[in-house]
Structure 1
Amino acid sequence: MVETSHDPYDHLHIFTSCCVPNALVMLYMSQDEDNRNCAYESIRDLIDSIRLLLPYTVYLQFLPVVLLELCKSLQRAAGYDDGLLYEICRHFLGVVVKDSKAMNIFHGGGDNRVMMIIALHDLFPFVAELASELTRGLVSSMESDFGPSRSEVKDFLAFLKPLKAAVVKNQVILPLSNCVFTCEDNLSNCIFTCEDNEIRFLYVIFDDLLTTLVMCLKAMEGLVIEKKENSGWDQYLVILKELHGISKLYQGGEEYFWRNLKDFKRSLCHLIVRYAKRGEDYKWILDQKDAIDFEARRHLVMLLFPMDEYDDIHEMFIDRSRLLTESFEYVANEEPERLRGELIMEFKDEEATGQGVLREWFFLLSQEIFNPKTGLFVACPNDPRRSFPNPSSNVDRLHLEYFRLAGRVIALALMNKIQVGIVFDRSFFLQLAGKNVSLEDIKDANPFLYSSCRQILDMDPSAVDALGLTFVWDINESGSIKVAELCPRGKDMIVNSSNRKAYVDLLIHHRFVASVAEKISHFARGFTDIIGGKKNLKMFFGSLALEDFDRILHGNESDICVVDWKAHTDRSPNILVLEEMTAKQRKALLFFWISMKYLPVEGFGGLTSRLYIYKSNESIDHLPSSHTCFYQILLPVYPSMAMMKNRLSFITQDHVGCSFGMS
């Protein structure tokens, strides 16, 4: 009796020595269609049986060899253009080599018997071949709607993974100048020997694709200006991200990458706004926020918010007179997933509901939270619009929970793209971004302290020694002054010309960081609840300038443009009275009309709908009404312009205009 081997490598040896791949491919290349179909089905069955029947660890080491042999046989028999079967085999080979456990096969792990049959170098031709296919697709996309296919890009990334891992493992970072070598033809025709260094090979791939993509971005510039779209651009960002990752493997590579893109900012920003999708990692771009414009930065940070499709809705019924306390009950301890779902808002004893009422609630609640009279935040003396956490907010035992509420509300307003007319102080914003606060950052929050510290730093050294200051600061706790040390034994340390910088830094840290750290931490927790993680929180604030955040959260800070208003309103001749209104009255009318006092940065063009004026069937004794959800105002047929002015001026009073909307 012949003993049967159960070692999979014995089977692998038998499989390869018997030239099974060659035999199947020869049958596949037959002129007889039945033979060809039989070979095709046999090869597919072979791949599926290995994938589905063999133990996982065996499959990972068996299938790459089988697929490699099949690909080589198909290349010899039919060339790269064979089509479907070759692409199927190549695709599955890419799937396997991308597997994290299979990666060991290609850089020193796994069974040595497999390493003798398949090596990292065996993947070079596939990487080069796919890179050439992408290059051809990119060139085509400059003149037509056909660009690199998603499947080609996916396979290219799969084959690159073990190659990049091998470069990283070598821990050799070469200058770009050491990596350059040329091929007489294109990449797919390059012949790479075992002596070729994968580091140099990878650079050729990188530089060829980057050069082609730069040509594409240049060609895009004019089309973007003309507002022409090309569906062949949809894989550009994916390829650029991969090239950026490769660039970091080379000394000076990342700088080289961004230097090539710097002249095509318009094209890059268009790609981001048009093709960047939620769930992808765009940190590689956000780390270079100056390389893109505000619109692109805004688009990317807004993608950080997860959009949960929650079956249930979160309904809120709130008394206007108890806006903050009842909103706290509905929002503070609710599961974040529900808050990220559909919110339904209704004020008690009012019929109106819908998105218009939700926008009104966000605006009124945000204004209430950040009102200095509430005690959570204080206004900056140099810029009263800006808010900073109140160091003395602990007079309310629930103040920290209200800071967490504030974080949730602001994050939800951002997620729902509602401008609430709030702006943060710079030091507050920087701490949310995880950045240090310097003297220049406190100029608006405490101009007196800023001026004093600046004088200490700038005065003559002998004058500093004469001040008699020590490393302490005064804390106001519920009306009483308490002296606190800035460092251990601070009361015994005299401020002099040598340590004055340290004194100023410690003073700023204690006054603007340590004193509000717990409050900002709770605000950040609330924001994190909605944006879905500390990493997203830090990336959101770290990727924006304060001015960017102002524009997203506050909205357009310019006076409302009457011309723009009319241009985006159907039947706009009926609102000629806008010119005669004050800026405050226009905001009040806009709030009555659409539940917004602050427009997006783009003005009326940034709204989700045009504005509408409709005739109301009510008598002329009635005031106008509105459907805020649908951006509609309803006007009775007033007999004169004077009467219309009178009625509109009445509803633009703050205590009236917020309660006449219908939905």
Structure 2
Amino acid sequence: MFMEIPSLLVDLYANGRIAYSVIKDFVKICLNSKDKKLQGVYLEVLLEFCELLRRTGCKSDDRLYVFCRDSFASLLTLVGGVSFHNPKGKVMLRGVFDCVHEIAYKLLRFLDLSMNCPTGEGLSFKVVLDFVKFSDHLRMGLAMHQATSDEFLNCAICYTEGPLFAGVVDQLHIVFIKLLSKMDKCLEVMEDCLVNKKHGKGDGAAVHNGWSHYIIILKVLFHISKFYSSAQEQFWGLFLRRKNVLPHMIVRYVKKTDDHRWLLENRIVTDFESRRHLVMMLFPYLNDEILGYEMLIDRSQVLAESFGYISQAMPRSLQGDLLMAFKNEKATGPGVLREWFVLVCQEIFNPRNALFVACPNDHRRFFPNTASMVNALHLRYFIFSGRIIALALKKKVHVGIVFACVFFKQLAGNYIITLEDIRDADPIMYSSCKQILEMDADYIDSDALGLTFSIEVEELGHREVIKLCPGGESLVVDSKNREKYVHLLIQNRFVTSISKQVSHFAQGFADIISCSRLEFFQFLDHEDFDWKLHGSENDINVEDWKAHTKYLGYKKNDRQISWFWKDAGVALLGNTYLATWLSLRSLEKCPRSKRRFFCSFGHQ
């Protein structure tokens, strides 16, 4: 650098392409170095080569320039980025921004081509990846500043101590706005194509290959938006305007290997189908190297024997296929597995087994039973229950039950249960607490209710006084502390008393998924989880089902067939178990469509 060798080599290259192999060999030496100190020096040299080549008029697609720029990005990754607090780091970060700026404007041109090309061939994946790589390094440097200032970046910031870095924040904001505006137009074109495809018009049926890259670009813009207070509003505003096209992009283009968590930060821009797709990405891959886990279950002992198999299994062994059959029955396959899930869940959530309690006004909705310790193995059963529910979700089986709000919130890491949360779980307690809060202040201050911050509970024939707070037995409830009393009462009933049951259920659930349990539940609304477990009442369209039914030994006008379809319709409307039986025992995938089913009728 002192002898200006890079400058001389670049001059030779510019005036006759003589030094091409010399520069390339030197860059390879830089990349192969394992010495951390040398890597830092080489990083400066590679940036010098990039800037010199750019000044000599090398185009952004020049082979040597692209090679040097890619090598600069690779070495940045090896050294872990650049430090914002290092004086040389500011210069380095300026060089990174110059690459971002250059690639962003190239990306804008490619996006224009993409909009004008129905097949999407105009968008270069290499340019998209380059934009991602350099943007990530720039964000890491800027994040260091934001972490120390604890504020959004101010576009008017001028770094007097590093003149070369001055204006980067301002220019990055301009790049963000231009790319966001261009993406708005691209999504508009995409939306029109999807509408045309739906109605069978124009080029709507063409597959737009460039669409898969849009989600990558939007992810980078999302991260950049976090540096500017107004940018986040602009970013999510785009998603709200193009809300119809985002779910299609998520379901079709987001893969399990992608970091898709940013899409769930603002659930308002997604729908149930896209959220379900994203959450399913949190389950580990089906491991073909693991032999299928085999189970042979006696129907009369379905809970006990299932508990033995599932609770004793190592979590890794459950990452393969589940292969099960009922004793003395020949039937096997997905239908039998779905039936087993439903039967096991019916037993787990059967009040007679004292594990869960059904909500009085909705017998499909459950939460842990405070008296579950009547069974000495109750905590192991809660681990087992968590595994079963996670496996059912993984296999996309609707087991016919849902969770009470008080249970779901705690699984999502929210242990503050409100009065409205307990409305379904305990209507009597809800009504009593509401009356206490609405009662005339003078009346409650007269101690006419005789309430203190202690309660008497009875479990398994044993009565016990529980203090809601220290000294609670002598602290009288009045108009000033009644809100605290109601809060502590609810927390004791629905959090403290079932904390072990909830934590063991969560432990079992976490054994099956590939992320933290909190992450899984925080990405879903309560209603989303209901749908995933129970399904929609309109999951089966009887008329569509009838239209795709094959009859073996019967005709569609036979009495038995008429009865069958009549009962099917009644079952779906009446929410009886017949609908579940139909979906488990007689539905098979129609070979012509993954979304259609048919029923095969035989004499047996």
Cα distance change of structure 1 residues 481 and 163 upon mapping to structure 2, 3 Å threshold: same
SS of the residue corresponding to residue 479 of structure 2 reads coil
Question: Which among 79, 103, 112 is matched to residue 139 of structure 1?
Answer: 112
The answer on 1:159 being equivalent to 2:134 is yes
The answer on 1:263 being equivalent to 2:241 is yes
The answer on 1:506 being equivalent to 2:506 is no
Cα distance change of structure 1 residues 353 and 203 upon mapping to structure 2, 3 Å threshold: same
How far apart are residue 333 of structure 1 and its match?
2.8
The 5-angstrom pairing of residues 339-488 of structure 1 reads: 339-435=318-414, 436-465=416-445, 466-488=448-470
Correspondence for 1:5:
none
Correspondence for 2:253:
275
Correspondence for 2:518:
538
TM-score, normalized by length of structure 2? 0.87
Paired residues, number? 576
Kept after mapping to 2: 8 A contact 1:473/1:483: yes
Question: Which among 118, 122, 126 is matched to residue 95 of structure 2?
Answer: 122
The answer on 1:635 being equivalent to 2:602 is yes
Instruction: Return 389-398 or 77-86, whichever deviates more.
Output: 77-86
Larger radius of gyration: 1
Cα distance change of structure 1 residues 581 and 389 upon mapping to structure 2, 3 Å threshold: same
Correspondence for 1:210:
180
Instruction: Return 327-336 or 407-416, whichever deviates more.
Output: 327-336
Partners of 2:432 and 2:224 lie apart in 1 by 49
How far apart are residue 608 of structure 1 and its match?
4.2
SS of the residue corresponding to residue 511 of structure 2 reads helix
Correspondence for 1:336:
315
The answer on 1:326 being equivalent to 2:308 is no
How far apart are residue 226 of structure 1 and its match?
3.2
Partners of 1:146 and 1:438 lie apart in 2 by 53
Question: Which digits, 9 at most, give the CA deviation of each residue in 1:273-299, with x for residues without a partner?
Answer: 111111333332212111211111111
Kept after mapping to 1: 8 A contact 2:113/2:122: yes
Amino acid at match of 2:30: I
Correspondence for 2:9:
20
Amino acid at match of 1:165: M
Question: Which among 133, 143, 168 is matched to residue 168 of structure 1?
Answer: 143
How far apart are residue 178 of structure 1 and its match?
4.5
Question: Which digits, 9 at most, give the CA deviation of each residue in 1:120-143, with x for residues without a partner?
Answer: 223332111100122122222222
How far apart are residue 404 of structure 1 and its match?
0.7
Correspondence for 2:200:
none
The 5-angstrom pairing of residues 75-86 of structure 1 reads: 75-77=54-56, 79-86=58-65
Kept after mapping to 2: 8 A contact 1:557/1:598: no
How far apart are residue 515 of structure 1 and its match?
0.7
Question: Which digits, 9 at most, give the CA deviation of each residue in 1:427-460, with x for residues without a partner?
Answer: 1111111122100010011000000000011111
Cα distance change of structure 1 residues 279 and 596 upon mapping to structure 2, 3 Å threshold: farther
Instruction: Return 283-292 or 91-100, whichever deviates more.
Output: 91-100
How far apart are residue 225 of structure 1 and its match?
2.7
Partners of 1:606 and 1:420 lie apart in 2 by 27
SS of the residue corresponding to residue 378 of structure 1 reads strand
Question: Which digits, 9 at most, give the CA deviation of each residue in 1:79-126, with x for residues without a partner?
Answer: 32544332222212122224453423xx233xx7x669x632233321
Cα distance change of structure 1 residues 148 and 100 upon mapping to structure 2, 3 Å threshold: farther
Kept after mapping to 2: 8 A contact 1:21/1:69: no
SS of the residue corresponding to residue 216 of structure 2 reads helix
Correspondence for 2:85:
108
Partners of 1:70 and 1:568 lie apart in 2 by 67
Partners of 1:605 and 1:539 lie apart in 2 by 36
The 5-angstrom pairing of residues 568-583 of structure 1 reads: 568-570=548-550, 574=556, 575-581=561-567
Cα distance change of structure 1 residues 561 and 495 upon mapping to structure 2, 3 Å threshold: same
Amino acid at match of 1:337: R
SS of the residue corresponding to residue 498 of structure 1 reads coil
Amino acid at match of 1:161: D
Partners of 2:308 and 2:467 lie apart in 1 by 39
How far apart are residue 415 of structure 1 and its match?
0.7
Kept after mapping to 2: 8 A contact 1:340/1:412: no
How far apart are residue 517 of structure 1 and its match?
0.7
How far apart are residue 251 of structure 1 and its match?
2.5
Correspondence for 2:166:
196
Kept after mapping to 2: 8 A contact 1:408/1:526: yes
Kept after mapping to 1: 8 A contact 2:366/2:403: yes
Question: Which digits, 9 at most, give the CA deviation of each residue in 1:598-628, with x for residues without a partner?
Answer: 99xxx99999464345xxxxxxxxxxxxxxx
Partners of 2:514 and 2:499 lie apart in 1 by 21
Correspondence for 1:237:
215
Kept after mapping to 2: 8 A contact 1:453/1:504: yes
Correspondence for 1:611:
597
Amino acid at match of 2:280: M
Amino acid at match of 1:453: C
Amino acid at match of 2:327: K
Partners of 1:224 and 1:351 lie apart in 2 by 46
Structure 1: runs of 5 or more not aligned: 1-11, 29-34, 182-191, 614-632, 637-646, 648-663
The answer on 1:221 being equivalent to 2:198 is no
How far apart are residue 77 of structure 1 and its match?
4.5
Amino acid at match of 2:143: V
How far apart are residue 216 of structure 1 and its match?
1.6
Partners of 1:545 and 1:568 lie apart in 2 by 34
Structure 2: runs of 5 or more not aligned: 198-203
SS of the residue corresponding to residue 379 of structure 1 reads strand
Partners of 1:72 and 1:221 lie apart in 2 by 40
The alignment-based identity, stated in percent, is 40
Cα distance change of structure 1 residues 545 and 77 upon mapping to structure 2, 3 Å threshold: same
TM-score, normalized by length of structure 1? 0.80
SS of the residue corresponding to residue 315 of structure 1 reads strand
Cα distance change of structure 1 residues 514 and 606 upon mapping to structure 2, 3 Å threshold: farther
Kept after mapping to 1: 8 A contact 2:545/2:596: no
Partners of 1:569 and 1:43 lie apart in 2 by 70
Kept after mapping to 1: 8 A contact 2:402/2:530: yes
Partners of 1:152 and 1:45 lie apart in 2 by 24
Cα distance change of structure 1 residues 375 and 568 upon mapping to structure 2, 3 Å threshold: farther
Cα distance change of structure 1 residues 607 and 297 upon mapping to structure 2, 3 Å threshold: farther
Correspondence for 2:34:
55
Partners of 2:6 and 2:280 lie apart in 1 by 57
Kept after mapping to 2: 8 A contact 1:419/1:555: yes
Kept after mapping to 2: 8 A contact 1:559/1:583: no
Partners of 2:595 and 2:269 lie apart in 1 by 31
How far apart are residue 375 of structure 1 and its match?
1.3
How far apart are residue 196 of structure 1 and its match?
2.9
Question: Which digits, 9 at most, give the CA deviation of each residue in 1:611-661, with x for residues without a partner?
Answer: 345xxxxxxxxxxxxxxxxxxx3413xxxxxxxxxx8xxxxxxxxxxxxxx
Amino acid at match of 1:139: D
